Amino acid sequence: MLLSKLLECLPQKEVHNLNNIEIEGIAYDSRKAEKNFVFTALRGYLSDGNDFINNAIDNGACAIVSEIFVLLPNNITLIIVDNARKALALLSACFFGYPAKQLTTVAVTGTKGKTTTTAMLRSIFECSGTPTGTIGTLGIGIGKTFADTGNTTPESYEIHKAMADMLAKGCGAVVIEASSQGLKWHRTFGIEFDIGVFTNISPDHIGDGEHSSFEEYVECKSLLFKQCKTCVANIDDPLFATVTKNAVNPIITYGFEKNADFTAFGEKLKASAGFIGVEFKVAGKKNMAVQTAIPGKFNVYNALAAIAAAYVLNITDASIAKGLDEVKVKGRVEPVPINGDYTLLIDYAHNGASMENVLTTLRQYNPKRLVVMFGAGGNRPKDRRYDMGHIAGKLADLCVLTEDNSRFEDPNEIIADIETAVKEVGGKYVVVPKREDAIRYCIENAQPGDVIVLAGKGHETYHEIKGVKHHMDEREIVRDIVDSSL
């Protein structure tokens, strides 16, 4: 694509030294710039892309997009814009042929439930005969493969490239997790989503490098609904009206309240060794009974969100029911095969709110014992580890304290902080510092009727220590332990 043609997508720009050559690619990381690439200089919390313009040029970049005037060689085009991140989004969409316009697009935002709701929607879409890609916490999913992105909502270039790949591989729809950071940094800018889904909101991601306050966090979540044809939202959430204030089209509501467009009732918990799920009925714009092998009332909310979105898209009841029945979500109350009359689950609970949700939910299934193994991430606010310790100490029959992504902190000091919190509420606990040993302890000491949760890692397949990510997949560890006991 000629540079002049590519730049037509930018409504406002100032162009210097236009060299109208064929553009081979776009980069926002100077190390990935190549010959005849456009380099977009993004300003972030820790670094400024303008500092790396010369590196990009050395690597072959022929044009630079920046928010400031930069003195460049005569053979390099400079494009000055008001917002480089918005420009990257528009340039990427154009370069890849506007793939979002050729797909059915759904974006899901909220503090909890994004990944599960996304998986439910993908399952429903595919049961209706529409191959579907996903972009979110688990990475970029196309078919049976997932590619890590590093962020729940990756940069706009990665989003448009992924959607172009999805089209090439036969997908007809995409479901994207729209994080508060992704919305704040305009990573989905310029996409008009067919549906935007709001799950719920509670304080999270507040601190250095994230959001300055809960109010800013809420405001960023609400940005999604400026760019959606239809809003599907949880009417039971106390901040429903605040988050959906930007919705310019009719809002489809769901919840347990009778004034919702989709209301859930009659939920029943289903459990057996190795299986935990829920069934419920739906009334309102649809009347049907469904079940899903993902436990708890909060997953009824996620299922309702998926049902409401499917209704907007005219997907049949049969496809909805089958999709919810068959859905599996990696690292979200995920059952792991074991030998024994107990249930072993892997979950991503890594803060107080998610720990409380999962343990409160599992307590409703009346296990003989509710055992939770967990640690806390290093170089994160200490309140997070204390909250987890207090909640787990109150709700679990046994806490197994161990390491979890200690990063640049001493894992034993993190464990000691958690131990203090568990003691304060009178919780029963043991300390097993090495995570592999802690998993073995849980399995070897399991009792019939127990529900054991390996919390914190979820979908992650690594353990981060001193800046290095070491491979660690808890499913593999469990399998090795179980196989060695046969």
| Structure confidence by residue, pLDDT tens digits, 350-361 | 999 889 989 999
Q: Which regions of the chain carry the CATH code 3.40.1190.10?
A: 99-326
Whole-angstrom Cα distance, residue 355 to residue 455? 8
Residue ranges, comma separated, of all CATH 3.90.190.20 domains in the chain are 334-484
Res 273: pLDDT: 74
Higher pLDDT, 369 or 296: 369
- Residue 464's pLDDT band, with cuts at 50, 70 and 90, is very high
pLDDT of amino acid 212: 75
DSSP element (H, E) containing 465? strand 462-465
CA separation for the pair 233, 377 (Å, rounded): 31
Residue range 99-326 in CATH 1.20.120.1770: no
Give the pLDDT score at 276: 87
* Model confidence pLDDT, tens digit, residues 401-412: 999 999 999 999
pLDDT at 44: 84
143 touches 151 (CB < 8 A)? no
pLDDT, position 45: 76
Query: Is the pLDDT higher at 433 or at 297?
Result: 433
Q: In the chain, which segments carry CATH 3.40.1390.10? A: 3-84
pLDDT at 421 over 80: yes
Q: Parallel, antiparallel, or unpaired: how do β-strands 228-234 and 251-255 relate?
A: parallel
pLDDT at 205: 61
Q: With cut-offs at 50, 70 and 90, classify the pLDDT of residue 209.
A: low
Between the alpha carbon of residue 446 and those of residues 401, 422, 435, 440, 483, the distances in Å are 16, 21, 16, 10, 16
- C-alpha span between 227 and 178 (Å, rounded): 12
Distances in Å between the alpha carbon of 375 and those of 352, 363, 378, 405?
12, 20, 9, 8
Rounded to two decimals, what is the model's pTM?
Answer: 0.86
* Confidence grade of residue 250 (pLDDT, cut at 50, 70, 90): confident
Place of tokens 């489809």: 252
pLDDT at 307 over 70: yes
Domain 3-84: CATH superfamily is: MurE/MurF, N-terminal domain (3.40.1390.10)
Closest to 16 (Cα-Cα) out of 49, 65, 59: 65
pLDDT at 139 over 90: yes
With tokens 């940005």, the residue in question is 223
Question: Could you say which architecture CATH assigns to the domain 334-484?
Answer: Alpha-Beta Complex (3.90)
Q: What is the mean pLDDT of residues 160-178?
A: 98
Residues 53/70, Cβ–Cβ less than 8 Å = yes
Provide the percentage of residues in the chain whose pLDDT is more than 70.
98
